[in-house]
Amino acid sequence: MKLTITGSAMTTCVGLDKASSFASFCAGISGRKPLQFFPAEHFNVRFAYEIADGPDRTLRASELLAKAVADAIADAALIPEPGRCAVLVGTGLRELRSLELSWTEGRSMTVDQLHFENALNSALGIALPVITVCNACAASNFTLALAEDFIRDNAYDCLIVAGCDTITESMFGLLDRVNPLHPDEVRPFDRDRKGVLMGDGAAAVVLETPAHAAARGARALAVLAGVGTSCDANHETAPDVDGISRAVGNAYERAGIGAADVHFIMAHGTGTSLNDKTEAVALRAALGDAQLRATPLSAIKSMTGHTSGASGLIGVVTAIESLRTGQVPPTARFSHPMEEAADLDIIHGEARTLPEARIAQVDAFGFGGVNAVAILEKSE
């Protein structure tokens, strides 16, 4: 079922709104900076992709989420109708940082603040159901698939789908220990990549049935043509080629397209040795050698870091802007392709002008083999 996207928003480490984030992406600007919220001397890695929005505090994830949702609603000129509209949120870590601050510094918070509903409804001034999905780094794209199902089943006429995550000290420390090397930046698909660094971010889109959007005279930013999913459960953390390939194939089937119809790919591209290799091999299996070589690919985690559950939807909002403007951001700090990507058309150096692009693919893959691939179409 194709759905109309009437509003979108994002906040990243390189821009506090959609316009500034996308402009920074197209300029190849990286948000990497010295670690600001945790004592750097506790870690091997001293950099992250944090949003510099003041001191560390509780409920930052809820704040970023509320801003993204409010901005997307405003962008859609939508007045949400209680009973026919809801918010779906994809996240990996939710308010874990708030818990850390409560445990380690005695910051005040209550259990109910772990749920996003109170913060969102307070910020919006509307009582809407809020459904939260924690599907690791594929969470927000997976939530898009749930939105398709809800609207198809006539549960809602429109949905605000969002994703958010902030860096937590425990997850930062975990990655610091498991990275075999100590990365100082994220370099997807590059021969010299060393691993992943985390980032803060939030994004949101408004999805409506075409009839609902038309009835209220809403502007269409793009079309969500279909979302393919898989959960291969092959390994706790390691990605699986077959699982990713199935998600890509399922996305094409649900969108009613073939691999040759895709004009560019927003890759998952985490900058880790195994993830980048697996994604490249899986895309080759799904698209075929010739088609993959002919399809431009961009990896914006080179500028945002890994924004966990928000990353898929940040890619979706970026792809929407690329379809609208004809500009696809480059992969920053890319210079020497890894062996598996040696013949891929990885956009780098500067943004690629693709005025005829009409269909985009956005990849999101998470721990546990949870995979979600979104297909977007340019609006007429």
The question of whether 115 is a catalytic residue gets the answer no
Of 13, 26, 212, 268, the catalytic one is: 268
What pLDDT was estimated at residue 258?
96
Question: Which top CATH class is 227-378?
Answer: alpha beta
Contacting residues for 368 by C-beta, under 8 A, at least 6 apart: 136, 231, 233, 236, 237
pLDDT in tens, 349-359: 999 999 999 99
The question of whether 26 is a catalytic residue gets the answer no
| Mean pLDDT in residue range 138-145 | 97
The answer to pTM > 0.85 is yes
Residue 123 CA to residue 279 CA, distance in Å, equals 38
DSSP result, 301-327: HHHH-B-GGGHHHHHHHHHHHHHHHSE
pLDDT in tens, 91-136: 999 999 999 999 999 999 888 888 999 999 999 998 999 999 999 9
Q: Is 227-378 the same fold as 3-215?
A: yes
The question of whether 336 is a catalytic residue gets the answer no
Contacting residues for 90 by C-beta, under 8 A, at least 6 apart: 132, 133, 134, 135, 138, 139, 140, 141, 142, 143, 161, 162, 163, 309, 310, 312, 313
The domain segmentation of the chain, as residue ranges, is 3-215, 227-378
Q: Looking at the predicted structure, is the pLDDT value of residue 267 above 90? A: yes
Q: Looking at the predicted structure, is the pLDDT value of residue 304 above 90? A: yes
Question: What's the whole-number average pLDDT of the chain?
Answer: 95
Other CB atoms within 10 A of residue 71 CB: 21
The topology (CATH level 3) of 3-215 is: Peroxisomal Thiolase; Chain A, domain 1 (3.40.47)
User: Beta strand 201-208 with 359-366: parallel, antiparallel or unpaired?
Assistant: unpaired
pLDDT in tens, 289-302: 999 999 999 999 99
Of 26, 164, 212, 306, the catalytic one is: 306
Of 26, 85, 137, 158, the catalytic one is: 137
| Mean pLDDT in residue range 88-92 | 97
Structure tokens at 292: 């993959």
Give the residue among 375, 367, 340 at the shortest CA–CA distance from 226.
Answer: 375
pLDDT in tens, 212-245: 999 999 999 999 999 999 999 888 888 899 999 9
What pLDDT was estimated at residue 180?
82
Predicted confidence band of residue 380 (pLDDT cuts 50, 70, 90): confident
